[in-house]
Amino acid sequence: MTPKQQLFVSEYLTNGLNATKAAKSAGYSSKNADVCASQLLVNPKVADAIAEKTGKRLAKLEITADYLLKTIVSTVERCQQAEQVTYQGVPVPGMYKFDAANVLKGSELLGRHLKMFTEVVELDDKRDFEVQDIKQKLLAKLNCRLAKIPS
């Protein structure tokens, strides 16, 4: 990896994963920094260096999937706690509130992690057969034409 690419990796990780800004900071031309950034991100050596440094950073901070899941669960449980509604400092009997929006957001994150909300794409088998039929017909026509051409 070139020194400029190494600088890009460092800048990318310190600039909030903003590739264009990192490319400019690493000394790439401002005019086409976005193009350079895209090319750098798909470069196997650069991508590996980013993954390695990101992994080291996460390990140093002790951020794991378990940590994140525990944090989400803990937050959801705190947001679910019912809090008595008060009016002018006096509790209103039978009235409670809780943070429904964040309970739902945390539940959504957990559901996505558990792949409960994956979208199913249905394929129409007829289309596949139609494409195969058309392909075979075109090949047959091409073979007929090639057979008619004198060698």
Q: Is residue 37 situated within a structural domain?
A: yes
Backbone angles phi, psi at 84, to 5 degrees: -65, 135
* Dihedral sign for Cα atoms in the order 27, 29, 30, 32: negative
CATH number, position 25: 1.10.10.1400
Q: Is residue 8 situated within a structural domain?
A: yes
Q: Let me know whether 41 and 25 are in one domain.
A: yes
Q: Is residue 139 situated within a structural domain?
A: no
Q: Is residue 151 situated within a structural domain?
A: no
Q: Let me know whether 56 and 17 are in one domain.
A: yes
Instruction: Give the three-class secondary structure for 43.
Output: coil
Q: What is the mean pLDDT of residues 134-147?
A: 77
Chain segment 98-130, per-residue pLDDT in tens: 888 888 898 888 888 888 877 766 666 555 556
Q: Is residue 101 situated within a structural domain?
A: yes
Chain segment 61-74, per-residue pLDDT in tens: 887 888 888 989 98
Chain segment 15-53, per-residue pLDDT in tens: 888 999 999 999 998 888 889 999 999 999 999 999 999
Q: Let me know whether 49 and 99 are in one domain.
A: no
Q: Let me know whether 22 and 69 are in one domain.
A: no
Q: What domain range includes position 32?
A: 3-61
Q: Let me know whether 18 and 50 are in one domain.
A: yes
Q: Let me know whether 45 and 9 are in one domain.
A: yes
Q: Let me know whether 56 and 78 are in one domain.
A: no
* Dihedral sign for Cα atoms in the order 26, 28, 29, 33: negative
Give the total number of structural domains in the chain.
2
Backbone angles phi, psi at 51, to 5 degrees: -60, -45
Q: Is residue 133 situated within a structural domain?
A: no
Q: Let me know whether 15 and 44 are in one domain.
A: yes
